């Protein structure tokens, strides 16, 4: 495992090599959170109630902060892998003594962790000022565990899309579709609790809610039953997506045609 930790370490260094880029990217969350706060403030005011489907304005905004942190900070693994396939640099990654997918996972983690930390701190500061202090520290461990599961689900889906470059010339449409599903059925723009019952039922079956809604919801309202339900959902989808990823990789290797001679 030492070699994979070294991969994580080097991409962490690489990401920290450009602190200005890291800070600028984190600045984006300020705009998003400000817009979200204005929208939900008006919505809650119009409803005339402090709580909608169990969530207060404070909960909603902190929920959205965690969701945005994950969305903006998750590694763009589909683009990374599809670029490696397209420009031929995958040749270098495949002829080393490691598991390619584990390499990419640790590579993604090295890029993602500092970004997510920075996004959370910068965005969290604004949300604190606008909506009040963060949820109780006791809520955090469950949310962090679910966040790890969500991150892995994002990784598997992104890597599957990236590996599609073995057969498709352009994978960005797949990434676009996946992102939109996460936005809507993952509860990134609106918490799933606010959806009509039938749409909630659909969202809870699909993997997207486990990629976004799960950790964000646990962050604002820890609930052991919900935690178990989310972890179980994540485990099932990790088996499905992880298995598909392994299969796609071994099949993709047979079809690989390194570009550029």
46 near other proteins (CB under 8 A) = no
Residue 255 to residue 261: CA distance in whole angstroms: 16
Contact pick of 35, 91, 148, 247 for other proteins (by CB under 8 A): 91
Tell me how far, at minimum, the Cβ of 24 lies from other proteins, in Å.
16
**Is residue 260 involved in binding other proteins (CB under 8 A)?**
yes
Q: Which is nearer to other proteins, 102 or 125 (CB)?
A: 102
DSSP assignments along 167-234, one per residue: T-S--HHHHHHHHHHHHHTTTSSS-GGGS-HHHHHHHHHSTHHHHTHHHHHHHHS--HHHHHHHHHHH
- Binding flag, residue 94, other proteins (CB under 8 A): yes
253 binds other proteins (CB under 8 A): yes
> By C-beta, is 91 or 202 nearer to other proteins?
91
Tokens of 41: 């403030």
C-beta of residue 29 within 8 angstroms of C-beta of residue 68:
yes
Binding mask 167-206 for other proteins (x = CB under 8 A): --x-------------------------------------
Instruction: Report, in Å, the least distance between residue 96 CB and other proteins.
Output: 6
Under rule CB under 8 A, residue 72 binds other proteins: no
Least distance between other proteins and beta carbon 165 (Å): 14
Smallest separation (angstroms) from other proteins to the CB of 247 = 16
Q: Give the residue, chosen from 32, 34, 98, 128, that forms a contact with other proteins under the rule CB under 8 A.
A: 98
**How far, in Å, are 15, 132, 146 from residue 260 at the CA level?**
28, 54, 41
User: Which structure tokens are listed for 124?
Assistant: 């969290």
DSSP state of 260: -
Question: Are the C-beta atoms of 188 and 71 separated by less than 8 Å?
Answer: yes
* 95 interacts with other proteins by CB under 8 A: yes
Where helices occur in the chain by DSSP H, the ranges are 2-16, 19-47, 57-73, 77-87, 90-94, 100-131, 140-163, 172-184, 197-205, 208-211, 213-220, 224-255
Stretch that binds other proteins, among 10-18, 115-123, 197-205, 239-247 (CB under 8 A): 10-18
| Stretch (H or E) spanning 51 | strand 51-52
Binder among 19, 27, 54, 88 for other proteins (CB under 8 A): 88
Least distance in angstroms from the C-beta of 13 to other proteins: 6
> Taking CB under 8 A as the rule, does residue 7 contact other proteins?
yes
The two tokens of residue 150 are: 């969500």
The residue count for binding other proteins (CB under 8 A) is 29
Residue 69, CA distances (Å) to 27, 65, 96 in order: 12, 6, 33
Taking CB under 8 A as the rule, does residue 250 contact other proteins? no
Interface residues toward other proteins, by CB under 8 A: 2-3, 5-7, 9-10, 13-14, 17-18, 88-92, 94-98, 169, 253-254, 256-258, 260-261
């Amino acid at each position: 495992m030492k070699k994979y930790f070294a991969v994580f370490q080097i991409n962490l260094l690489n990401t920290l090599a450009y602190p200005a880029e890291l800070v600028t990217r984190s600045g984006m969350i300020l705009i998003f959170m400000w817009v979200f706060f204005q929208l939900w403030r008006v919505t809650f005011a119009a409803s005339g109630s402090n709580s909608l489907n169990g969530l207060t304005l404070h909960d909603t905004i902190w929920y959205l902060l965690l969701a945005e942190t994950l969305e903006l900070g998750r590694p763009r693994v589909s683009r990374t892998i599809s670029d490696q396939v397209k420009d031929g640099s995958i040749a270098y990654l495949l002829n080393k003594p490691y598991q390619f997918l584990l390499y990419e996972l640790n590579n993604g983690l090295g890029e993602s962790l500092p970004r997510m930390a920075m996004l959370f701190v910068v965005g969290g500061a604004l949300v604190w000022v606008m909506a009040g202090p963060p949820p109780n520290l006791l809520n955090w461990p469950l949310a962090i565990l679910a966040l790890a599961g969500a991150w892995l689900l994002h990784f598997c889906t992104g890597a599957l899309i990236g590996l599609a470059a073995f057969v498709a010339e352009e994978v960005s449409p797949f990434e676009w579709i996946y992102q939109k599903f996460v936005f809507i059925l993952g509860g990134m723009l609106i918490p799933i609790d606010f959806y009509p019952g039938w749409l909630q039922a659909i969202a809870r079956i699909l993997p997207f809610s486990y990629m976004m809604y799960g950790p964000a919801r646990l962050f604002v309202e820890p609930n052991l039953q919900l935690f178990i339900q989310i972890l179980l959902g994540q485990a099932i989808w990790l088996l499905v997506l992880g298995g598909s990823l392994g299969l796609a990789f071994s099949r993709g290797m047979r079809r690989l045609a390194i570009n550029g001679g």
